[in-house]
């Protein structure tokens, strides 16, 4: 495949530079724009109209789930490949629910990322081997996750709460009213049977939504 334009979204400049070099070694691949958060990703997508977006999930403020959802609302044909450290099957399924076409973990070999880019750019779907195994194991064992009953926006707000953001910060990042965020917060607690935010943090870590170091 040649002549492929890419938007690269990751909050670490050094990481972006490394993957830019990897991708631009492929014939015709061009990183036409970069972004380090969800708001920048949305603006960069509208301005550069890339063929494919490579999107991290863990970013300051609103994360990759929100960015995927927002871009896909604006362009239903957007092709987005999630590229993240998160290896939880439930989180990967939420990314697909938000509109992603592929999911590759950063622990995967570089050639898996390149193959996933090729597949998603052609309109297909892609999973790295490790996340495919996680999803298969979840389905075969019929394991449940705290995320199963949450929508993508509820999942993102849970992640933000568990990361230590307060209601006002979340409202500002998602451009929602304080009342709306408070309602989401209540609904999330109700659905998960959590009485406190500390319990929400514990559930978010257990679901692979955040790591203990992110909290």
Percent of the chain exceeding pLDDT 90 equals 59
Residue 209 CB-density burial (10 A; 0-12 exposed, 13-18 middle, 19+ buried): buried
Q: Is the Cα dihedral 28, 127, 148, 211 positive or negative?
A: negative
pLDDT of 35: 95
> Taking a C-beta distance cutoff of 8 angstroms, is the pair 62, 157 a contact?
no
Q: What is the mean pLDDT of residues 24-44?
A: 93
**Annotated domain spans of the chain:** 4-141, 152-206
| pLDDT for residue 78 | 96
Check residues 150 and 138 and name the one with the higher pLDDT. Answer: 150
CATH topology of domain 4-141: Rossmann fold (3.40.50)
For tokens 């789930």, name the residue.
65
User: Do residues 85 and 15 lie in contact, with contact meaning Cβ atoms separated by under 8 Å?
Assistant: no
Alpha helices in the chain (DSSP H): 13-24, 38-48, 64-74, 89-98, 110-121, 129-141, 152-162, 167-174, 178-192, 197-206
Render pLDDT for 143-197 as a digit per residue (tens, 0 to 9).
666 678 888 899 989 989 988 899 999 999 888 999 999 999 999 999 998 889 9
Report CA dihedral (7, 89, 164, 9) to the nearest 10 degrees. -10
Query: Where does 152-206 sit in CATH, by number?
Result: 1.10.10.10
pLDDT of 213 over the 70 cut: no
pLDDT confidence band for 211 (50 / 70 / 90): low
CB 73 within 8 A of CB 101: no
pLDDT at site 85: 87
Give the mean pLDDT of the chain: 89
User: What gap in Å lies between CA 73 and CA 8, rounded to an integer?
Assistant: 19
Question: With 90 as the cut, is the pLDDT of residue 62 above it?
Answer: no
pLDDT at 136 over 90: no
Residue 2 has pLDDT above 60, yes or no: no
């Amino acid at each position: 495949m040649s002549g492929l334009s890419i938007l690269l979204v990751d909050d670490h400049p050094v990481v972006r530079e490394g993957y830019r070099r990897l991708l631009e070694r492929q014939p015709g691949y061009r990183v036409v724009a970069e972004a380090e958060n969800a708001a920048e990703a949305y603006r960069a997508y509208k301005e550069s109209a890339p063929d494919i977006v490579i999107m991290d999930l863990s970013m300051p403020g609103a994360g990759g789930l929100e960015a995927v959802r927002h871009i896909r609302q604006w362009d239903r044909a957007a092709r987005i490949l999630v590229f993240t450290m998160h290896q939880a099957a439930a989180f990967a399924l939420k990314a697909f629910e938000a509109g992603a076409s592929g999911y590759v973990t950063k622990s995967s070999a570089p050639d898996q990322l390149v193959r996933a880019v090729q597949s998603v750019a052609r309109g297909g779907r892609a999973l790295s081997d490790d996340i495919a195994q996680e999803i298969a194991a979840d389905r075969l064992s019929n394991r449940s996750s705290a995320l199963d009953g949450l929508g993508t926006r509820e999942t993102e707000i849970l992640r933000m709460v568990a990361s230590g953001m307060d209601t006002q910060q979340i409202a500002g990042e998602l451009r929602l009213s304080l009342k709306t965020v408070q309602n989401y917060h209540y609904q999330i607690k109700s659905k998960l049977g959590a009485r406190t935010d500390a319990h929400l943090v514990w559930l978010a870590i257990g679901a692979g939504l955040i790591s203990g170091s992110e909290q």
